[in-house]
């Protein structure tokens, strides 16, 4: 639904107190609490975001009261309610939240009550205003449904607390055609922090995929191409280490499937289908490549609640 025209305003509106209840989006709009009717994020990349609505729309959201991990907008099919595409920090609402993080703008947080489950989620018991939060951090990751999502760490602002601006890159994690080509080096899920680690693992396997055993020849001289895949992802929010025992040598196809949880490792280093749970292959393991089982467990934990 298109937003009605209303000037951006940060902070709690006059006459509104924390804990105030509203029947629906029309009342939120009239009170100046949430300007964009029918949308979860109020704001644009020009103004920043001034409010959001928590509606339980994404399985990767986390709400711990004064700390909220909020999944951005985009990628969802309105008819089925399922994710069908990757999100991007270039989308207007997601970019707005990044701008608010950079500028230190306070963010009004509204929670929908009595959320119905199913294709169309509705707040059957109205909305409550939870006060002001700050956008403390953001990152790109792969969500439970297998698509890349934008996530934002929101922290409650205490009365009188000042939120300083932060130096952030509004395009971090966004993929232009050029960035797409080097995604495994620049995105937070496939960040390669030490080229020596990646090179060492590739050399161990002579650029042969540990899962499908394919060796991709890319030149007349017989050069082969492979990718170094972290088992426990590095970067936010997973914080895996960049060590040989946390890296696999994979072909691009198996790397993409592994990154999105469609392939997983058991404690015995068998490769299983992450959706059906069926055995796919025994992972090839070179002498001296002692893969950390703890990293395989961390990888599986990411998909433990995956919708099937």
SS (H, E, C) the chain: CCCCCCCCCCCCCCCCCCCCEECCHHHHHHCCCCCCCCCCEEEECCCEEEEEEECCCCCCCEECCCEEEEECCCCECCCCCCECCCCCCCCHHHHHHHHHHHHCCCEEEEEECCECCCCCCCECCCEEEEEEEEEEEEEEEECCCCCEEEEEEEEECCCCCCCCCCCCCCCCCCCCHHHHHCHHHHCCCCCCCCHHHHHHHHHHCCCECCCCCCEEECCCCCCEECEEEECCCCCCCCCCCCCHHHEEEECHHHHHHHHCCCEEECCCCEEEECCCCCEEEECCCCCCCCCCHHHHHHHHHCCCCCCC
* pLDDT at residue 196, as a whole number: 86
Contact 253, 157 (CB under 8 A): no
In this prediction, residue 243 carries a pLDDT of: 92
Both structure tokens of 248? 């696999």
pLDDT band at 120 (very low <50, low <70, confident <90, very high): low
CA proximity to 197, closest of 228, 235, 152: 228
What is the reported pLDDT for 287? 93
Lowest-confidence pick of 177-181, 186-190, 281-285: 177-181
Q: Distance (Å, rounded) from C-alpha 92 to C-alpha 131?
A: 23
- Whether the per-residue pLDDT at 64 is higher than 60: the answer is yes
Phi, psi of 228 (to 5 degrees): -90, 120
Confidence of residue 69 (pLDDT cuts 50, 70, 90): very high
Give per-residue pLDDT as tens, 192-205. 444 788 999 999 99
Q: What sign has the CA pseudo-torsion 65, 260, 137, 135?
A: negative
CA–CA separation, 265 and 271 (whole Å): 5
pLDDT for 271 beyond 90: yes
Q: What is the average per-residue pLDDT within 269-296?
A: 95
pLDDT score of 106 more than 50: yes
Residue 62: per-residue pLDDT: 92
Q: Greater confidence, 242 or 236?
A: 242
Question: Residue 185 pLDDT more than 70?
Answer: no
Question: CA-CA distance, 294 to 98, in Å (whole number)?
Answer: 33
Q: What percent of the chain has pLDDT over 90?
A: 57
Residue range 136-151: average pLDDT? 90
Q: What is the per-residue pLDDT for 178?
A: 31
Tell me what percent of the residues of the chain surpass a pLDDT of 70: 86
| pLDDT reported for residue 172 | 45
Confidence at 237, pLDDT banded by 50, 70, 90: confident
Contact status, residue 270 vs residue 284, Cβ threshold 8 Å = no
> How sure is the predictor about 116, in pLDDT bands with cuts at 50, 70 and 90?
confident
Structure confidence at residue 154 as a pLDDT band (50, 70, 90) = very high
Cα torsion for 172, 173, 176, 180, to the nearest 10°?
A: 140
CA distance 72 to 244: 33
Q: Is the pLDDT of residue 210 over 60?
A: yes
Average pLDDT of every residue of the chain: 85
């Amino acid at each position: 639904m298109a937003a009605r025209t209303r000037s951006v305003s940060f902070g709690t509106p006059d006459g509104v107190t924390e804990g105030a209840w509203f029947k629906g989006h029309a009342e939120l709009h009239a009170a100046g609490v949430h300007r964009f009717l029918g949308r979860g994020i109020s704001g644009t990349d020009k103004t920043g975001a001034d409010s959001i609505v928590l509606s339980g729309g994404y399985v990767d959201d986390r709400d711990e009261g004064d700390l909220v991990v909020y999944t951005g907008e985009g990628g969802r099919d309105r008819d089925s309610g399922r994710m069908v595409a990757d999100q991007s920090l270039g989308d207007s609402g997601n970019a707005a939240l990044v701008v608010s993080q950079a500028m230190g703008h306070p963010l009004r947080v509204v929670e929908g009550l009595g959320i119905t489950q199913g294709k169309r989620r509705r707040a059957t018991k109205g909305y409550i205003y939870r006060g002001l939060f700050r956008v403390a951090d953001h990152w790109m990751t792969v969500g439970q449904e297998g698509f890349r999502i934008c996530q934002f760490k929101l922290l409650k602002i205490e009365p009188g607390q000042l939120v300083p601006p932060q130096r952030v890159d509004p395009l971090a994690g966004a993929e232009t055609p050029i960035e797409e080509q080097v995604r495994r080096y620049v995105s937070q899920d496939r960040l390669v922090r030490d080229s020596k680690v990646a090179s060492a693992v590739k050399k161990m396997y002579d650029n042969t995929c540990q899962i499908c055993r394919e060796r991709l020849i890319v030149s007349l001289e017989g050069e082969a191409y492979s990718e170094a895949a972290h088992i426990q992802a590095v970067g936010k929010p997973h914080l895996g280490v960049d060590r040989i025992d946390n890296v696999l040598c994979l072909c691009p196809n198996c790397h993409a499937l592994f990154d999105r949880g469609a392939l997983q490792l058991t404690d015995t280093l068998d490769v299983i289908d992450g959706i059906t749970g069926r055995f796919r292959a025994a992972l090839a393991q070179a002498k001296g490549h002692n893969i950390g089982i703890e990293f395989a467990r961390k990888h599986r934990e990411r998909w433990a609640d995956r919708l099937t």
